[in-house]
Chain A
């Protein structure tokens, strides 16, 4: 079946019964509550996979003609070298960056450049200049985002976008703001399955046990 056939527009226009029948043809399990959105999403995933397979097999290149009007789309880059980190939750940071064309050119043409990496540094206070701990994550020239796990017990961090050279030197291209890592109740780090947590009756009634249980299920070692 062609991708054009399985377009969202088409799928949204057919009845639930037809959707189920189509999903059945593709071996997709039907959810319990006739959730059309779910079925459509699954069918589109299948269509995408098929399209990718088809593209991989194809050797024909499609060329854009000069008559085509380029669609107005969001820029891939703002031509600035910048890095930004946001806490996605208290222990995971989402980091994204942009590299301006001149820097990209330099990185590609300079034969002494070995690799691009993120350097994560930890500090005890926002004013400190010397880090108490750090680690690196190697990234490729094409990467533009990364999730980073922040180890327990740290207070502040910064992330540098940097590159290393054959001579073992590192140069910083961009640096995030200094970000404070939240400090929470010690139960968060010490919670383990089967462990009896001491807490007041009012905390129990507030739902602390369930919360810690859910928290462990969702985040496990991230917070320890």
Chain B
């Protein structure tokens, strides 16, 4: 009998936002990682642990980018996170006093405080500050498949004519994956699912077995597969390809979709944006930057979007009602996916079928507070259902060398399907600098093929700075107007550091003080070998 498989892939990534200078106000930058740890990564690990404890079968694909792993693995960052949770707890205690005359708000403050206290216990005691170790453990139990991705989540189609650059992103990404998890995985997650013609020739030589494309990569191909998106296909060199389902959860981030349900917690509404600075002092300290604190008391409600928003118009959050709604939404999601699988199985008479859904990790817990609870219900619902199973991509390739062949159409899961938002009027100015640095880096590897000592240190730093400058996150954040000043500074610093390396190698002079300072500031990829940028001869 044909198998029906539901593949869920969670994509967790962020730019390398790291601060080694304690005097700099880094509250807004840290908020990205720390909120992700507290609201997504730890709850996700808790969820898988719970399911493991109850022997519920779990099969999830998980992408953890190298910059994210580097930050999670950094002892200094871990300590900063603990300090951040401590400040959250202190704020919670102050909130209990502030809200003590309003029982409804007080109950919310208590719940948020309890979560903050549990966050600390989970991070410090349960996981010993080492979240990556727990992911690795679940991977060893075949509950999750860790899928490597490019070194700094660069949007690779923008470098399609520079194979050395794509090789460097792939090779460094794979090496980082091996560094953190002990192996190189079987698949490869293309950042933003960006595909351009010929990528199979760059991926396959690294032993990569498969990747996942946006569905129009399959369907808009000159020779679309007869099996649509319901079975993997292969490229001319047998790199297997899976297609993401168009109705996958990413469309759930849209306002009209279910994660905006009126009973769900309103994530934008946080006391960090509402209260006077003095009331936030236990959390913010001297920082004047307003960031979320985790103390969110209201539900989305059904306020007419056309109306101006007044403070009291939102209903107080009801966790029980939201939990019930998450369970209902999970069942609806499973019904939709399983129904699709049933229909595909009928049409494909006897052939195994699969539906691949990709979910940005940020959606679960951060954009959508109840997201992890929803995911847990999805896993439970599928496991209790006959005929459909959760599956990992790597387990669906028994017949890899007899799959139909296609030449995929260029595609991406960003912009309007081609990553246009990563090259527009807001961020188009960046590409001339990264590409110039790419040309120079490739040239440097020719000029200095086997150098050691100080020159090798310089070249390795240049390679790191260039990879960082290529981060797709920078382009995305500028497009979204998210910390734009910081991102511009970071990008500029990456490019200027690279240029200093280039000039130093040309003039044969370098300030070792400067070199050491920059190395310390960006302690990512400590094992970097600049030859990843060399031409394959």
Pair from one complex: yes
Whether A206 pairs with B228 at a CB distance below 8 angstroms is yes
Nearest-CB residue, chain B, relative to A217: B416
Interface string of B399-433 (1 = CB under 8 A from A): 00000000001100001111110010000100111
B258 to chain A, nearest CB (A): 15
Q: List 12 A-B contacts (CB under 8 A).
A: A13-B277, A13-B289, A32-B306, A87-B160, A144-B432, A177-B161, A180-B197, A203-B219, A214-B416, A215-B417, A218-B416, A219-B416
B245–A207 CB distance below 8 A: yes
Q: Are B220 and A211 in contact (CB under 8 A)?
A: yes
Q: Within the complex, which residue of B224, B269, B276 is in contact with A203, where a contact is CB–CB below 8 Å?
A: B224
Knowing that A30-B308, A89-B420 touch, tell me 10 more A-B residue pairs with CB under 8 angstroms.
Answer: A15-B276, A17-B311, A72-B496, A86-B431, A180-B197, A184-B409, A202-B347, A203-B228, A206-B243, A218-B417
How many A-B pairs have beta carbons closer than 8 Å: the answer is 162
* Shortest beta-carbon distance from B521 to chain A in Å: 15
Q: Given contacts A20-B309, A210-B246, is CB(A205)–CB(B347) below 8 Å?
A: yes
Q: Name the interface residues of B198-243: CB closer than 8 Å to any CB of A.
A: 215-216, 218-222, 224, 226-230, 243
Interface of B, helix, strand, loop or mixed by DSSP: loop
How distant is the Cα of A87 from the Cα of B274 in the complex, in angstroms?
44
The answer to whether A14 and B485 have CB atoms under 8 Å apart is no
Encode contact with B along A13-48: 1 for CB under 8 Å, 0 otherwise.
111110010001000001111111100110000000
A35: which B residues are within 8 A, CB to CB? 268
Docked-complex contact A202 and B348, CB < 8 angstroms = yes
Say whether B250 faces chain A, with CB atoms less than 8 Å apart.
no
Residues of B within 8 A of A203 (CB): 219, 224, 228
Given contacts A12-B290, A15-B274, A211-B215, contact A87 B228 (CB under 8 A): no
The interface bits of chain A over 141-180 (1 if a CB of B lies within 8 angstroms of the residue's CB, else 0) are 0001100000000000000000000000000000001011
Shortest distance between the CB of B416 and any CB in chain A (Å): 4
| Interface-located stretch among A57-65, A90-98, A116-124, A129-137 | A90-98
With a cutoff of 8 Å between Cβ atoms, the chain B residues found around residue A73 in the complex are 492
State the CA gap A62–B14 with chains docked (Å): 41
Which residues in B have some Cβ–Cβ distance to A below 8 Å?
28, 157-158, 160-161, 196-197, 215-216, 218-222, 224, 226-230, 243, 245-247, 255, 266, 268-269, 273-277, 288-290, 300, 303, 305-306, 308-309, 311, 340, 343-344, 347-348, 409-410, 415-420, 423, 428, 431-433, 435-436, 480-482, 484-485, 492, 495-496, 499
A44–B217 alpha-carbon span in the complex (Å): 38
Contact B274 A202 (CB under 8 A): no
A201 to B345, CA, bound (A): 12
Q: A12-B290, A16-B273, A200-B226 are in contact. Are A206 and B423 (CB under 8 A)?
A: no
B353 CB to closest chain A CB, in angstroms? 10
Interface of A, secondary structure class, is mixed
Determine if A94 and B423 form an interchain contact, defined as CB atoms under 8 angstroms apart.
Answer: yes
| A184 in complex: contacting residue of B222, B247, B419, B481, CB < 8 Å | B222
Least CB distance from A208 to B in Å reads 5
Complex contact A88–B496 (CB within 8 A): no
| A residues contacting the other copy or chain, number (CB 8 A) | 60
| Chain A hits for B348, CB < 8 A | 202
- Complex Cα spacing A162 to B122, Å: 63
Residue A113 interfacial (CB < 8 Å): no
Contacting B at CB under 8 A, from A187-205, are: 187-188, 200-203, 205
- Residues on B with C-beta less than 8 A from A185 are 219-222, 224, 409
State the A residues within 8 Å of B (CB): 8-9, 12-17, 20, 24, 30-37, 40-41, 72-75, 78, 84, 86-90, 92, 94, 96, 98, 144-145, 177, 179-180, 182-185, 187-188, 200-203, 205-208, 210-211, 214-215, 218-219
Closest-CB distance, A194 to chain B (whole angstroms): 21
B431, A206: Cβ atoms under 8 Å? no
Pairwise interchain contact B227-A202, C-beta atoms closer than 8 A: yes
Question: Smallest distance from the beta carbon of B53 to chain A beta carbons, Å?
Answer: 37
Q: Which residues of A contact B290 (CB under 8 A)?
A: 12-15, 36
